A and B are shown apart, each in its own frame.
Chain A
Amino acid sequence: MTDATLAEGPTRPQSTLRRLLRRKLAILGMGIIATVTLGAIFAPWIAPFAPQEQMFDGLTLEGAPMPPGEKFWLGTDLLGRDLFSRILYGARTSLIIGVVANGLALIIGTLIGVAAGYFRGWIGAVLMRFTDLMMAFPALLLAICLAAIFTPSLWIVAMVIALVNWVQTARVVYTETSALAEREFVAAEKTLGAGTARILFRHILPHLVPMIIVWGTLGISTTVLLEATLSYLGVGVQPPTPSWGNIIFENQTYFQAAPWLVFIPGAAILALALSFNLVGDALRDVLDPTQRGRE
């Protein structure tokens, strides 16, 4: 809905997708995201075992975890649980947190950014100083402190990540909004007697949509990584609920003997974060006309 894309007429949503599908890396990313999403949704039907079930034959005679094999495709963990099933259920954790936490962060960031950019004067000043303040916090330390304050559950972790991650969005939305507020069409609307709400929702927000889509996609990648890191440190999603991060947390003491317990969930985290980065980057090229032609 930016000026450049408006010119292309009403087929815009289609053409965005079509342009996206012309990029191999974006297809790769969307493919991985689709696979992970399907795996997460249909986990109860796909998973060969229950994720919490400690199998009597899940450990070797010496009590060590089983390496990947015929019965346990990706091996078993220290407690004799099937790693493949836990990874599938862990995908739910990653995706739920990725979408919820990032959605919250986007909403907070957009509201603060738009308010600060549109309302000059003290509201804008206070909001942006607060954003600067949040930028000065070491993100991970803040998240760990917050997670330690509230006993972490899935939703608490999502909230903590949102509270830490909205800052970047607020800054870009602020810059964009304050530039838009100066433009002639906004002045024209004001002259015609449009109210603040009308200007914000009918004129400013639609211009921000492409940027929010891009930042929203890239942000899921950051969120997935942050959730994994918190869970790896033991202050994120708590066992026995599986998360790719806490699978590594639970098994890392044994990682020299059973490296698959660390590197398979690690590869899953990397793949998901990478996909959202690839798709977000492609979306930026497609949606943001100022970036076009740079590559």
Chain B
Amino acid sequence: MLAYLIRRLIQAALILLGVSFITFFLLFVLPADPVRQIAGRSATPETVANIRHQLGLDQPFVVQYWRYLTGLFQGDMGRSYLQKTEVATLITARLPATLLLMLGAIVAELVMGLTLGVVAAIRRGGALDQSLMITSFVAVSAPQFVVGLLLLYVFAVKLSWFPIGGYGSFSNLVLPALTLGIMGSGWYSRMMRSSMIDVLRSDYIRTARAKGLRRFRVLALHAMPNAILPIIAMIGIDIGIFMSGIVVVESVFGWPGIGQLAWQAIQRVDIPIIMGVTLVSACAIVVGNLLADLITPFIDPRIKLR
């Protein structure tokens, strides 16, 4: 187990190194010039050259990358070109909002997905099951920005149940979390349905029913916990999927998280921020996948990690 963990951590570190290299390289060959963005249109060639020199952008690629990497190991993610603030500060300031959004989305997708999955499994083959499975297909096929705008239109503009945007209270969180969670709820409902069907077929459920236990008790206490377990590990994978979703959802709802930070940085060619957010996201994805793998043997002792 320990050897496995060490090997996976080394792998993770190498992957992150690779991600940093590729991203840095992509941003290096970027035709849009960050110096132009900083200096403005009316800047003289001397000013431009000056800024370029100050930022070290006149150095060859290898030197620049090495400088970035050594900084990174000292906990320095560089400074934003335009905001003159440490990237680490900007990201840590924005991270709580994103984490809150993701937490909300996980709750939303689990509640919706598991409920629909269990109901579909109980009513297996019936009309309700079929319509629920169509619903789950719709959920995974719906573009997030359309879902976001639809929820905004219906629940914020027309019904005024929730605020249109903003951040700070629970009512601000509901619509963005639902939007981010809807796609996952589709996957979870399908997984929960087939997991539940497998469990309901098993002998111990028949025994429990044969003992005379009530149907509800068997479902709630015997079947559901076992059906949910294999799905728990998927939450780790979700983190990676959310990392793409937050860019869209945060920009639709004006949510002040790292997705919006990245999106604004890309538009302004603020390379240190883009690098920083990409690395943080990659970290989250790698850790999420690792957690998913580590949880599995606890859930199912038959699985051994090698």
Contacts and interface: CB of A to CB of B under 8 A. Distances in A.
A253 B197 CA distance: 46
B138 A266 contact: no
Interface stretch (A72-80, A96-104, A133-141, A191-199): A133-141
A114 interface: no
22 contacts: A133-B15, A133-B22, A136-B18, A138-B243, A138-B244, A140-B247, A141-B247, A141-B274, A145-B23, A149-B26, A225-B143, A229-B144, A229-B145, A232-B145, A235-B266, A248-B145, A259-B153, A266-B149, A270-B142, A270-B143, A277-B141, A294-B194
Contacts of B27: 145
Interface of B: 11, 14-16, 18-19, 22-23, 26-27, 29-32, 134, 137-138, 140-146, 149-150, 153, 157, 194, 240, 243-245, 247-248, 251, 262-263, 266, 269, 274, 277-278, 281-282, 285-286, 289
Contacts of B22: 133, 137
Interface string A147-182: 011010000000000000000000000000000000
A25 B278 CA distance: 39
A146 interface: yes
A263 B141 contact: no
Contact of A274 (B16, B138, B247, B286): B138
Most buried by B among A137, A138, A277: A138
Given A133-B15, A145-B266, 15 more contacts: A136-B16, A140-B247, A148-B266, A148-B269, A221-B141, A232-B248, A248-B145, A255-B153, A259-B153, A262-B149, A269-B146, A273-B143, A274-B137, A274-B138, A277-B141
A137 B146 contact: no
A228 B247 contact: no
A278 B130 CA distance: 13
A266 B26 contact: no
Interface residues of A, number: 42
B146 A262 contact: yes
B247 A277 contact: no
A25 B134 contact: yes
A137 B240 CA distance: 8
A142 B274 CA distance: 10
Interface string A113-147: 00000000000000001001101111111101110
Q: List 10 A-B pairs, minimum CB-CB distance, nearest first.
A: A266-B146, A140-B244, A274-B141, A138-B243, A273-B141, A138-B281, A133-B18, A136-B282, A136-B15, A232-B145
